[in-house]
Amino acid sequence: MSNPGDPASDPVVSRRRSWSDLGPRLVSALVLIALTATALYIGSYVFAAVVGAVFAGAYREWETMVSRAPLTPSGMVLVGLLAVSGVIYPLFGPVGTISVVALACAVAVGMRGEGVLWRILGLVTFGAIIVAALAMRGDTLAGVWSGVYLGTVVWMTDSAAFFTGRQIGGEKLAPDISPSKTWSGALGGLALGTGAGLLVWTLVTDSPLVDRPGPVCDDQRAWPTGRSQRKCHQAAFPDQG
């Protein structure tokens, strides 16, 4: 029998240090990473569909926060339109995506109840992220490495926030919005996400922290920076400096 003052008997500590859900979390994370990495490498409609689905799911959470109620049929329409806005990007480009997001905003205006401005803000924000993510990917290998960088930062931030918050706990970050998030998790995620992003940037880009022996001059493989372009120009035209 544990003593009342024993930390192991404290329900807060017990909940904080419970790792019973770690296995399912790891399995789901590995599956998602594999699917996302495959879609990122393939690009085109496959990556566009994944991006649309991811941010449509994110908007679903936003919609339930705004309405403070289960998802309604009108809310499902908004989620579906946001997913479509990503899928059509390879065919119509940013104009097509923006047009579908604008249609979703029009539907949001016609919905009854409060929170219209918040719905529009969410649609515009997630629509802009969809355009940015798909434009970043483009159709070159540099876009793949950009996605690797972004994915590394996101996953490492999320992982560190989970482990740090679970182990350390502490003051809640925003209990009314997400009761399980803590300041310790946020700071842990910030630290590891920043470090992981710096590592990827150093290893796979034209980072000034690493002096590589020669330039990479294939536009399909090079990281599109001005420094790379100058190196390639100097290698091709040494007399011009």
**Does residue 164 fall inside a structural domain?**
no
Integer Cα distance of 89 and 37 in angstroms: 19
Model pLDDT, residue 224: 45
Model pLDDT, residue 216: 47
Each residue's pLDDT tens digit, 60-86: 999 988 888 888 899 999 999 999 999
Question: What letter does residue 181 receive in the DSSP assignment?
Answer: E
Model pLDDT, residue 172: 85
Q: Which two tokens stand for residue 226?
A: 């001005």
**Does residue 179 fall inside a structural domain?**
no
Each residue's pLDDT tens digit, 9-47: 444 444 445 677 777 778 888 888 899 899 999 999 999
Integer Cα distance of 38 and 27 in angstroms: 17
**Does residue 62 fall inside a structural domain?**
yes
Decide: residue 31, CB within 10 A, 0-12 exposed, 13-18 middle, 19+ buried: exposed
pTM (2 decimals)? 0.72
Model pLDDT, residue 14: 46
**Does residue 24 fall inside a structural domain?**
no
Q: Number of folded domains in the chain? A: 1
Model pLDDT, residue 1: 46
**Does residue 146 fall inside a structural domain?**
no
Question: 112 lies in which domain range?
Answer: 35-138
Tell me the H-state helices in the chain.
11-16, 22-42, 44-67, 73-87, 89-110, 116-137, 141-168, 183-204, 226-236
**Does residue 46 fall inside a structural domain?**
yes
Which residue(s) pair with 172 in the sheet? 182
**Does residue 121 fall inside a structural domain?**
yes
**Does residue 148 fall inside a structural domain?**
no
pLDDT averaged over 10-residue windows placed end to end, the chain, 241 residues: 50 55 80 90 94 94 86 92 96 96 94 85 96 93 90 90 84 76 88 92 74 50 46 48 45
Buried/exposed 128-152: b ≥16 CB within 10 Å, e otherwise: eebbebbeebeebbbbbbbbebbeb
Model pLDDT, residue 222: 45
Model pLDDT, residue 168: 85
Hey, CA dihedral for 120, 122, 125, 131, is it positive or negative? negative
